[in-house]
Amino acid sequence: MTRVLTKKGLGLNVTSFFQSSLCKAKTMTMMTGAEIVIRCLQEEKVDYVFGYPGGSVLHIYDELFKQDKVKHILVRHEQAAVHAADAYSRSTQRVGVAMVTSGPGATNAVTGIATAYMDSIPLVVISGQVPTTYIGQDAFQECDTVGITRPCVKHNFLVKDVRDLAATIKKAFYIANTGRPGPVVVDVPKDITAAKCKFEYPAEIKLRSYNPVIKGHSGQIKKAVQLLLGAKRPMIYTGGGVILANAAEQLTRLTRLLGFPITNTLMGLGGYPGTDRQFLGMPGMHGTLEANLAMQHCDVLLAVGTRFDDRVIGNPEDFATVPRKIIHVDIDPSSISKRVRVDVPIVGNVSDVLGEMVRLLEAEQERKDISDWWAEIENWRARQCMKYGMKDAIMPQYVIEKLWEVTRGDAIITSDVGQHQMWAAQYYKFDKPRRWLNSGGLGTMGVGLPYAIGAAFANPDRQVACVTGDGSIQMCIQELSTAKQFGLPIKIINLNNRYLGMVRQWQEMFYSRRYSQTYMDSIPDFVKLAEAYGHVGIRVERPEDVEPALKRAFVDHKDDLVFLDIRTAREANVFPMVAAGKGLAEMVLADENL
């Protein structure tokens, strides 16, 4: 019998879970559990599994060897396996798959699982487990994977009967990719992979206690449209939910029909064209002046697929001091009115709700004149809050601008976490969805390179660039070996300031320049390190060499992995900035405090 552990807020319970319908089963054939795992992946049309073998999953790896439909990508660390699967999902519309062994394999994967969970990325992670008779006996490489991952998964399973294995994997894919997406862990003991049973794979599945709402309430949608049409100072604020729901087209149509200003969060960049005049830039802690002030002073706010998190609205009490009507559209009812009280909640799939809004708006002829509001916004925009001074040293903002020019804004950009992440979000103008891959919710250093690997497998004909820093890149730098093994032509843009830059910035601003443990005393020679892995390394130390080096990487070495070690201004800071606990209007613009 499969042990099912409930996830808070998912609405699953043990009794109803086992009453799921298994419809149109495939032809029944005797198979081992390991064969069943591979057949299930084939049935789900999985192209790639990112993983690392170990004792508890050897039966499965042996079955992987015997077929060629599901390709395995050997990473150098289990954390990178989950990150790569995560990026594969982010850059496509598919569920990413990772496989790890028991004990340290599973615990190494937890950071990747938590990263995906915080950003609502659909993953299925198959973990090996010690044999069922050893569970609870402190066996070699045993850990309670289900218990450890419970706080950072959408759901997880421990399979204790081979006859439940196929249906469990089907449920895992279904749960991961419906409603608000997220990672699902399937923990499979080694004896289950050796046991045999008849193979039955359901063509579809229904869970009585798990029925995510798809269609928004028509009355609420009509109410929202009327509010929007009556707004004098409207604002559209969207997040990663637009990307996950593949709703960029509907959002763009809605925004242009209304003529409203719009902002995309860090996770929502590309949901609306970043080069369009109506786009005000990113909001929040490192958002633009015009986006933050429009958010703060609007009278009607349409929030779509977003959470009103602390890095976006700052202090919720300060945000609430300006009266406004808020419409909130989200697939997850628990996200609505969680941090900010809303007036018109709409639970439903973002693409469906926006599509219905567009249909209603196309039938409306009258529009409110908001030219005065746009004039106010243009005054804020005229402040040019993203200006930065050029110095003899290379400014990191300049590097990102040149990266955008050289790639014509059409590359997939992955990033690690820190100052370089914010500069990439601010200065690379994303016009399309699924081109910007970064860790937003968990803020995981080390994701950039494995994200680039996952994106490169998912998009073999597209340029992939990883924007990173000298601290972050060393977290998973061993994946240069993975990239070499599979011939991935990733371009690594290392903004090397010889500091843990974002921490140093906070220490400068809030800790009286006490730079505790933020300078890395023994930074490697990244050019030689890249060459040691068999790649091309280029060092850039002068501003005039930035553009030629980028062209050399993307044109002359288009089929190679190129590591660009760019020595940037050491104490460059990310501005604008809203300090933690402050309101959106309390912005620091370079040396200016508004």
Active-site residue among 35, 44, 78, 290?
A: 78
CA proximity to 446, closest of 100, 119, 83, 91? 83
Q: What is the DSSP letter of 210?
A: B
For the chain, count helices (H), then strands (E).
23, 25
Q: How far apart are CA 290 and CA 304, in angstroms?
A: 19
Q: How far apart are CA 421 and CA 417, in angstroms?
A: 5
Q: How far apart are CA 254 and CA 224, in angstroms?
A: 13
- Residue whose token pair is 């390991």: 34
Q: How many residues does the chain have?
A: 594
Whether the CA torsion 330, 218, 271, 292 is positive or negative: it is: negative
Residue 581: how many CB atoms within 10 A of its CB? 11
HSE of 527, CA atoms in CB hemisphere, 13 A: 9
Q: Is residue 249 among the annotated active site residues?
A: no
| C-alpha to C-alpha distances, 271 to 32, 244, 249, 351, 574, nearest whole angstrom | 44, 10, 8, 12, 23
Beta strands per DSSP E along 26-75 = 29-32, 48-51, 71-74
Q: What angle do CA 519, 524, 529 make, to 5 degrees?
A: 150
CA proximity to 176, closest of 166, 163, 185? 185
Q: How far apart are CA 330 and CA 180, in angstroms?
A: 9
Tokens of 92: 């496509």
CA proximity to 324, closest of 304, 290, 296? 296
Active-site residue among 69, 140, 364, 551?
A: 140
Q: Is residue 140 among the annotated active site residues?
A: yes
Tokens of 251: 């959002």
Active-site residue among 357, 395, 502, 587?
A: 502
- Residue whose token pair is 């439940």: 164
CA proximity to 37, closest of 204, 176, 194? 194
Chain centroid offset of residue 221 CA: 28
CA proximity to 163, closest of 196, 207, 129? 196
Q: Is residue 308 among the annotated active site residues?
A: no
With H, G, I as helix, E, B as strand and everything else as coil, classify residue 119. coil
Active-site residue among 118, 141, 432, 547?
A: 141
Tokens of 342: 């809303």
Q: What is the DSSP letter of 553?
A: I
Active-site residue among 7, 190, 402, 491?
A: 190
* Cβ contacts of 385 within 8 Å, gap of 6 or more: 288, 289, 290, 575, 576, 587, 589
Tokens of 77: 């660390």
* Contact in structure between 76 and 102 (CB atoms under 8 Å): no
Residues known to be catalytic: 78, 140-141, 190, 502
